[in-house]
């Protein structure tokens, strides 16, 4: 597709995700082979809160990657961004499945997370592909830290959620490494701090809403 085609395709993705966000994983759920263990009511609420945060993060990742793809300068970078978004869609579906098992629902603010992240991805992408890749590399680094923290905070008996988070963590590492290989530009420290602040708002809000 031409640059203008990718832009309009990205805008279409924004509208579709805001109107009716869906998650259809194409790969097996990492928790499929893991037995369900009874959890207390408090443990279920806590697991659900953490998985709701992870789901919201994957909604944001969809927006971020698709925003980058919409304004990418080269077809190769656009293809990379879309491929990463497709893999993140599996993560989204796995989190959504686990939330259903826990008797919980995704964040009600997910249209906001998607639209805001798409705009951030598109705006950073306008600076050029190297800066766009730098944004991806830093995002994935922070996400990896976030998921590692969740592995320590999930209830000990919740092996199904843990299996999903561990697979996501490994694949986020791969996304960040690939962005670096493609020539990511390291972001200024002030931008990295702002990204952490934005992530904190998402995590604290989506745990409950």
- Confidence band, pLDDT 50/70/90 cuts, at residue 23: low
Is residue 68 within 8 Å of residue 130, measured between CB atoms? no
Domain contains 23: no
Query: ∠ CA 54-89-148 to the nearest 5 degrees?
Result: 35
- Mean pLDDT, the chain, whole residue set: 84
Query: What's the CA gap between 48 and 25, in Å, rounded?
Result: 19
DSSP 38: -
- What pLDDT was estimated at residue 40? 94
The phi and psi torsions of 108 (rounded to 5 degrees) equal: -75, -10
64-68 average pLDDT score: 81
89-118 average pLDDT score: 89
3-state helix, strand, coil in the chain (%, to 5): 75, 0, 25
Q: How many helices (H) and strands (E) does the chain have?
A: 7, 0
Domain contains 25: no
Q: Which domain holds residue 130?
A: 3-18+40-206
Give me the count of residues in the chain: 209
Domain contains 27: no
The answer to whether the pTM exceeds 0.75 is yes
Distance between terminal CA atoms of the chain?
38
The radius of gyration of the chain's CA atoms, rounded to the nearest angstrom, is: 17
Is 3's pLDDT higher than 70?
Answer: no
Domain contains 200: yes
Domain contains 54: yes
Domain count, the chain: 1
Q: What is the tens place of the pLDDT at every residue in 150-171?
A: 999 999 999 999 999 999 999 9
- What pLDDT was estimated at residue 14? 47
Which alpha helices (DSSP H) does 102-128 contain, by range? 110-125
Q: What is the tens place of the pLDDT at every residue in 106-129?
A: 998 888 888 888 888 888 778 888
- What pLDDT was estimated at residue 12? 55
Which alpha helices (DSSP H) does 72-188 contain, by range? 75-101, 110-125, 129-153, 159-181
Domain contains 59: yes
Which of the residue ranges 37-41, 87-91, 124-128, 182-186 would you say has the lowest mean pLDDT? 124-128
Q: What is the CATH number for 12?
A: 1.20.1260.10
């Amino acid at each position: 597709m031409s640059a203008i085609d990718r832009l309009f395709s990205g805008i279409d993705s924004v509208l579709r995700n805001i109107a009716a966000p869906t998650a259809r994983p194409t790969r097996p759920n990492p928790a499929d082979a893991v037995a369900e263990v009874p959890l207390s009511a408090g443990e279920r609420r806590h697991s659900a809160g953490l998985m709701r945060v992870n789901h919201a993060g994957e909604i944001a990742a969809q927006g971020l990657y698709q925003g980058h793809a919409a304004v990418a300068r080269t077809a190769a970078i656009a293809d990379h961004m879309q491929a990463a978004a497709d893999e993140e869609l599996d993560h989204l579906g796995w989190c959504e499945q686990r939330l259903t098992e826990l008797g919980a629902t995704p964040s009600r603010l997910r249209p906001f997370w998607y639209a805001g992240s798409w705009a951030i991805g598109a705006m950073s992408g306008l600076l050029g592909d190297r800066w766009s890749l730098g944004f991806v590399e830093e995002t994935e680094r922070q996400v990896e830290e976030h998921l590692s923290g969740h592995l320590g905070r999930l209830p000990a008996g919740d092996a199904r959620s843990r299996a999903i988070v561990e697979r996501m963590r490994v694949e986020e590492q791969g996304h960040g490494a690939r962005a670096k290989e493609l020539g990511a530009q390291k972001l200024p420290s002030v931008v990295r701090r702002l990204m952490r602040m934005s992530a904190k708002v998402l995590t604290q809000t989506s745990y409950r809403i």
